[in-house]
Amino acid sequence: MPQPVKALTPADIYVFIPNLIGYARVFTAILSFFTMKNHPVITAFVYGLSCLLDAFDGTAARKFNQATKFGAVLDMVTDRCTTSSLICFLAVLYPSWMIVFQLLISLDLASHYMHMYAMLSVGSTSHKDVDASQSKLLSLYYNDRTVLFVVCALNELFYMALYLAYFDYFLFGKVLAWVTFPVWFFKQVTNVIQMRGASDKLVAIDAEERNKAFTSK
């Protein structure tokens, strides 16, 4: 007779393979915060490792059938925290550009939070479930894994290039910043479109709920 399947506990979810990869991302990101001030080469390696691991947690989730809501949130929160932390340090290095960096952090956080909240509000199980009818650009960004990886990687590389440029690593700094700038700009455009689309979804839900409440009176 087949053995009964053991019921999963919350503790089991915490140690799913993609979530373990997520913890490794958090650890390496925090480690890079401690090295940013005085060790640019080490920082570039450790921070880059944290970003690189982002390409493996989703793969592991699909391979081992271990996709979870906790893992999805952990992935997005880690992305937002690591990028924001690096931009914060760039604001210290380039104080004359501080307002620009503040706006970039605000756009990144607002766009992704509103998008995730809107997707959950319409019953979607993932913030990546974007079809072409909502936005062809966002659908390409979220549903083509190659596009998603390249855009996210080069976006992070742009910020890292600005960081390295401050320490006079010309080849890996100023030149790399100009090379990655177009993709970075594309990422900011998707953030704006994403925030606008999320706003449209939320106000549509608000209008529908208010209309139902009015007609039921």
Q: List active site positions.
A: 79
Whether the Cβ atoms of residue 89 and residue 36 lie closer than 8 Å to each other: yes
Helical H segments across 36-144, by residue range: 40-63, 69-93, 98-121, 136-143
d(CA 12, CA 208): 40
Whether the Cβ atoms of residue 190 and residue 137 lie closer than 8 Å to each other: yes
Chain-centroid distance, C-alpha 47: 14
Q: What is the DSSP letter of 125?
A: S
Q: How many residues does the chain have?
A: 217
In 3D space, the residue among 158, 203, 200, 162 whose CA is nearest the CA of residue 183 turns out to be: 158
Task: State the amino acid at position 200 in one-letter form.
Answer: D
In 3D space, the residue among 154, 146, 12, 18 whose CA is nearest the CA of residue 78 turns out to be: 18
Q: Longest C-alpha distance within the chain, in Å? A: 71
Whether the Cβ atoms of residue 131 and residue 156 lie closer than 8 Å to each other: no
